[in-house]
Structure formats: structure tokens, C-alpha cells
Amino acid sequence: MAPSGVPPASRLNLGDAIHEGWTAFCRAPWSFVLFALLLTGLQILLQPLQDHILRGARGEAIGPADWLVFLLGLTASLAASCWGNVGLVRGAWQALEGQRPSFGELLRWDGPGFRRVLKAWIALASVLTIPLLAVTLVLALAAAVLWLLERTGFQLSDSSLLLPGVLLAVLVALLLGLMLLASLYFGVNQQFLAQVALLERRGPLASVQRGRALIDPHWIMLLLLLLIKVTLMVLGLLTFTVGLLVAWPVVNCITTAAYRQLTRIEAEAERLNPAPPY
């Protein structure tokens, strides 16, 4: 159903979003592919720095220098991803406007845009980390209780422990289910986080809240869009990652096209249903 007050025709059209995104990509395919290739190469070069910490899994000693190298590699990888997203979103928006973004335009450094997108990512991570830590703590306590029972010789098959054991198992299952639902919910309604932070020039938390306000009325359609994008990325990976160089910018153009369509729907709804004067 369309949101209250919005005409039935004012809905996200996935077909239009996919068509507009593909058309935008085709306006400058080599620029997008070369930029995706550059970003992929940077991540491959930085990966050994992040894998440096895995020496501990092989039984080797890990010192402060190893942790420093790992943190440097992780920070550089995050910065490269953020810079790449800024370039891809900016290029996609220009292509949707009928322009042909050059490779140099995608490369162009945008300090304010980079900081807005990075802060929005950090804000989203913070919002998700607090409940995740709470759930992890409860699960850790449950595991500790089971370990203590085992150490003291009790078995969950004992009649005195059957009900507490069942309740504990149900609690763990509910928490895991809630974690999965929350991950799915935020995965859908934060699809446009980079677009909102870069194009609307909002603050970090405001960008996260904007994603909910923009997507929640169209959540089911955006879930379908997410599934389509995941399918395209998987198909790109199956072609020995070569297709990923095309799938990645195409998915970004489709996402930006859907964001552009939703902002138009919102603007039309506000025009037809203006807010009452204060």
C-alpha cells in the first residue's frame, strides 16, 4: 500500500530504477569500470596488512607492531572504501542527470563529502554496536551458566534443570532471531546512507534517521531491490570477479536511481499534502 496521503501511483518502481541505473552506467562504462578496478586493486594491496594479525592463528607470536600494522591496514581500507563510495555516488548522480562523468571526476577528492560519509558510517556502526554488545553479553552469560552446570556435574536432562534449560535455550533463540531481524531491517533502510550523507549534506545521526524516514514507507520494495542487488553482485563474483567490476558500479547506479526516485516521490507527496502552518 502507498503511504497515507500519497497517490497510489507514487510508489517506487523497481523496473524504472534498474533501467535508469543501467542507462546511467552505459553513459560512462569505462570510467566506472576503471574506477572499480582501481578500488579493487587498492583493497587487494591493503589486504596483506590486515592479514598480518592472522599469524596468531598459526601459532606465531603477535606483538604490538603486528596490531599496529593491522590497524593501519584496516584504517586505510576503510578510507579507500569511503573515498570510492563518494566517487561512485557522485558519478552515478551525474550520469543520472545526463552527464558523462570522466575517470578523473570519479577520482576527484571531495574532503567534505568524504567526512560526511565516513561520519555517517561511524554513526550507523555505533547505533548497531550498542544492542549487539548487549545481546553478546546475554549470550556470554548463558554460555557461562551452561559451562558452570557442566563443571558441577549437572546435566540438562535432570528434571530439576529441564525447565531452566528450556527457558535459556528459548532466550538464546529469541535473541539470535532478533539480531537477524535487526540486521535485515537496517540492511534495507540504510541502503541510501552514502547518498543521503553526500547529497543532502546532513549530519551523521541525521543521515541514519533520514534513511528510516525515506525507506520505511517503501520497505518491502526496497527489500526486493536489495535482493536484486545482491544477486547482481553474486553473479559478478561467479564470473571470476571480472563481472564484479561491472556489477559494482551498476548496483551503485541502480541504488542512486532508486534514491533519486524516492526523493521525487517524497517531494510530490509534500506538494500534494503540505504540512499545516505552525
Measured between alpha carbons, how far is 104 from 108 in angstroms, rounded to an integer? Answer: 6
Closest among 167, 162, 174 to 135, alpha carbons compared: 174
DSSP string, 55-102: GGGGT----HHHHHHHHHHHHHHHHHHHHHHHHHHHHHHHHHTT----
Closest among 181, 184, 206 to 193, alpha carbons compared: 206
Measured between alpha carbons, how far is 211 from 185 in angstroms, rounded to an integer? Answer: 11
- Average predicted confidence (pLDDT) for the chain: 82
Measured between alpha carbons, how far is 72 from 232 in angstroms, rounded to an integer? Answer: 31
Residue 120 vs residues 35, 91, 204, 223: alpha-carbon distances, Å: 23, 20, 4, 21
Measured between alpha carbons, how far is 82 from 88 in angstroms, rounded to an integer? Answer: 10
Q: 199-249 pLDDT, tens per residue?
A: 988 888 889 888 888 888 888 899 999 999 999 998 888 886 678 889 999
C-alpha cell at 245: 567490476
Q: What is the mean pLDDT of residues 35-48?
A: 89
Range 174-177 contact pairs with CB under 8 angstroms and sequence separation of 24 or more: 175/135, 175/138, 175/139, 176/139
Range 214-217 contact pairs with CB under 8 angstroms and sequence separation of 24 or more: 214/189, 214/259, 214/262, 214/263, 214/266, 215/188, 215/189, 215/191, 215/262, 216/189, 217/2, 217/3, 217/6
Measured between alpha carbons, how far is 52 from 46 in angstroms, rounded to an integer? Answer: 10
Q: How many CB atoms lie within 10 A of CB 161?
A: 14
Q: What is the mean pLDDT of residues 46-64?
A: 67
pLDDT at 5: 43
Of 55 and 129, the structure prediction assigns the larger pLDDT to: 129
What pTM was estimated for this model as a whole?
0.81
Angle at 28 between CA 24 and CA 33, to 5 degrees: 105
C-alpha cell at 23: 542507462
Name the residue with cell 550507523.
Answer: 124
In this model, does residue 3 exceed pLDDT 50?
Answer: no
Torsion of the alpha carbons at 128, 134, 135 and 140, rounded to the nearest 10: 140
Q: 129-183 pLDDT, tens per residue?
A: 877 777 778 777 777 776 676 666 655 555 555 666 677 777 777 877 887 888 8
Domain locations in the chain? 14-270
Determine the 3-state secondary structure of 5 from DSSP.
coil
Helices 219-238 and 244-272: angle between axes, nearest 10 degrees: 170
pLDDT at 61: 61
